[in-house]
């Protein structure tokens, strides 16, 4: 269900990254620090945290409290860090994900925020604000989570890791097993699936919040392709970040390999900036999102244009 061009790029970049292993320790540590802050900030911001990226970094590095911010927001930062460490340990041990692990991740995430609910399935019915989907009744949750765990094991044998991670994320959110913290927990579970298959951690950006909720809503209606490709593009972004950090740059990059804005790219080809943006969002051209803006390369556009008229169109 991954868009063919996007799948090809993910596979190629994953193979490039694997060929570079073992990665330099200094580079890995630097990337981990960078992604840790990005991961925690964006995941919490999606759920409504008002902490900035710099404030999140300050809490992680110094343990200081930020004036005007709630104690809950501070715990959400440190708890998320601890939950990531737990996920990293599971990835190293390559343990099969089970509902028990999901509950442990949730317990760590809600420690000192809501100790009564932390790690415990909800006992009441809930509604998701702004969503038409109605989660199952509370009494159904334990059985649904058991079925989720069985599905995950069965599907892991035949499903592409990126597709599996996206579907595991959605099906967990769909069950909504906890009173609070379902989104953060699901994104941690998603990354555990990816990391167990050798992919770097993937961050869903705060700036993509509306698109993220939209593709989740489509998945609720059985249209899973949009979510899978949304997650796929996030995975590609992480692969690109790792490759750029790990590949030695001994010479100035060629003009066709330099990242340029879509506005600049549109001046050189018979496509509008809006159309290029659509292609980027659909994963049909290689592009990275920096802040709110998409960037691509002349090589990426040329590669896309060569596929026109083929089965990939």
Active site residue ranges:
176
**CA-based angle 227:237:266, to the nearest 5?**
95
How far is residue 293 from each of residues 78, 138, 206, 222, 296, measured CA to CA in Å? 30, 41, 13, 30, 10
- The sign one gets for the Cα dihedral 263, 264, 265, 271 is positive
Give the sheet arrangement for strand 293-296, strand by strand: 260-261, 293-296, 287-290
Length of the chain: 313
131 touches 220 (CB < 8 A): yes
Q: How many CB atoms lie within 10 A of CB 104?
A: 18
132 Cα distance to chain centroid? 23
- How far apart CA 204 and CA 186 sit, in angstroms, is 12
**Diameter of the chain measured on Cα atoms:** 62
- Burial (Cβ within 10 Å: 0-12, 13-18, ≥19) of residue 282: middle
Task: Give the rounded distance of the alpha carbon of 192 from its chain centre.
Answer: 11
- What sign for the dihedral angle of Cα 247, 250, 253, 258? positive
């Amino acid at each position: 269900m991954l868009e063919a061009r996007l799948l090809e790029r993910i596979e190629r970049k994953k193979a490039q990254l694997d060929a570079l292993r073992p990665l330099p320790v200094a580079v890995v540590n630097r990337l981990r620090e960078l992604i840790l802050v990005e991961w925690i900030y964006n995941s919490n911001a999606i759920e409504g945290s008002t902490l900035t990226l710099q404030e999140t970094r300050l809490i992680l590095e110094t343990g200081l409290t930020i004036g005007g911010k709630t104690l809950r927001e501070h715990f959400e930062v440190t708890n998320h860090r601890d939950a990531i460490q737990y996920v990293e340990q599971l990835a190293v041990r390559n343990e099969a994900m089970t509902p028990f692990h999901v509950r442990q991740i949730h317990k760590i995430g809600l420690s000192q925020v809501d100790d009564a609910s932390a790690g415990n399935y909800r006992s009441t019915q809930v509604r998701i604000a702004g969503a038409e989907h109605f989660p199952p009744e509370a009494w159904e949750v334990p059985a649904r989570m058991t079925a989720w765990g069985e599905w995950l094991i069965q599907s892991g044998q035949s499903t592409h890791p990126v597709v599996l991670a996206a579907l595991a994320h959605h099906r967990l959110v769909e069950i909504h097993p906890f009173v609070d913290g379902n989104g953060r927990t699901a994104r941690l579970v998603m990354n555990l699936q990816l990391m167990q298959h050798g992919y770097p951690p993937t961050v869903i950006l705060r700036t993509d919040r509306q698109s993220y909720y939209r593709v989740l809503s489509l998945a609720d209606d059985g249209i899973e392709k949009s979510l899978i490709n949304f997650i796929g593009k996030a995975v590609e972004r992480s692969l690109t970040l790792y490759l750029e950090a790990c590949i030695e740059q001994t010479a100035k990059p060629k003009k066709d390999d330099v990242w340029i804005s879509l506005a600049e790219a549109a001046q050189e080809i018979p496509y509008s900036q809006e159309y290029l943006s659509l292609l980027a969002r659909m994963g049909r051209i290689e592009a990275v999102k920096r802040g709110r803006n998409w960037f691509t390369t002349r090589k990426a556009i040329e590669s896309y244009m060569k596929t026109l008229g083929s089965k990939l169109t």
